[in-house]
């Protein structure tokens, strides 16, 4: 006897958004499919917090909103819709003010983890490039000092930083690799 696996019926965007307001567990939305997110390590959380602390003065100076962990980014492309929860999301467009997500971020930051690194490097890199307003996508490795910056424009440029200062064009600012890892290296 064979049992065929059937794909569950797609969940509507409205049902997904409503469900996210009713639960403590975060879920990403992949064009009708909902996927629960796992927890993060102490190093992951400390790095995200250090990035937020380093970037928030620059975000305020530029009139931008810097969100940590709980704000979704919405991507609409080719009749498909995706919602992700990046570790940090920088939104500078004053017209982009939905209560539960942003559509036009300037920068997205993901702190890598073993369970999501492949998704962050492939699926999300591809999906985030579909956002016309996105200028920078950062990948931060929590286990070794390495900050990768993807810069979007006419071409995609990729830079890797293990020491020193790196520039963030969205904020017209520079921060150091030391600022990113200051708390995590104390573990």
Q: What is the mean pLDDT of residues 75-98?
A: 97
Pairing relationship of beta strands 72-77 and 101-102 according to DSSP bridges: parallel
Does residue 75 register a pLDDT over 90?
yes
Identify the H or E element spanning 137: strand 136-141
Q: In the chain, what percentage of residues exceed pLDDT 90?
A: 91
Given this model, what pLDDT does residue 6 score?
76
pLDDT band, residue 3 (cuts 50/70/90) = low
**Residue 49 C-alpha from the chain's centroid:** 14
Percent of the chain whose predicted confidence (pLDDT) is above 70: 98
Check: CB of residue 88 under 8 Å from CB of residue 113: no
pLDDT of residue 113: 93
| 33 close to 10: Cβ distance less than 8 angstroms | yes
C-alpha 83/C-alpha 34 separation (Å) is 9
* C-alpha span between 104 and 90 (Å, rounded): 9
Structure tokens at 164: 């020193």
Q: What is the mean pLDDT of residues 115-130?
A: 95
**Average pLDDT of the residues in 33-51:** 95
Mean pLDDT within 52-76: 97
**1, pLDDT greater than 70:** no
In whole angstroms, what separates CA 145 from the centre of its chain? 19
**3-state SS class at 94:** coil
Neighbours of 21 (CB within 10 A): 8
């Amino acid at each position: 006897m064979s049992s065929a696996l059937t794909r569950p019926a797609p969940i509507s965007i409205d049902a997904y958004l409503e469900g996210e307001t009713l639960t403590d567990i975060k879920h990403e939305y992949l064009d009708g499919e909902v996927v629960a997110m796992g927890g993060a390590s102490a190093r992951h959380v400390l790095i995200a917090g250090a990035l937020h602390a380093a970037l928030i003065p620059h975000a305020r100076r530029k009139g931008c909103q810097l969100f940590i962990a709980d704000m979704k980014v919405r991507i609409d492309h080719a009749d498909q819709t995706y919602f992700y929860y990046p570790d940090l999301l920088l939104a500078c467009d004053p017209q982009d003010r939905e209560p539960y997500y942003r559509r036009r971020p300037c920068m997205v930051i993901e702190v890598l983890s073993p369970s999501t690194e492949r998704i962050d490097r492939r699926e999300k890199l591809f999906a985030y490039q579909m956002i016309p307003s996105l200028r920078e996508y950062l990948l931060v490795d929590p286990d070794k000092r390495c900050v990768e910056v993807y810069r979007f424009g006419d071409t995609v440029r990729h830079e890797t930083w293990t020491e020193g200062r790196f520039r963030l064009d969205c904020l017209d600012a520079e921060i150091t690799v030391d600022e990113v890892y200051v708390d995590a290296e104390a573990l």
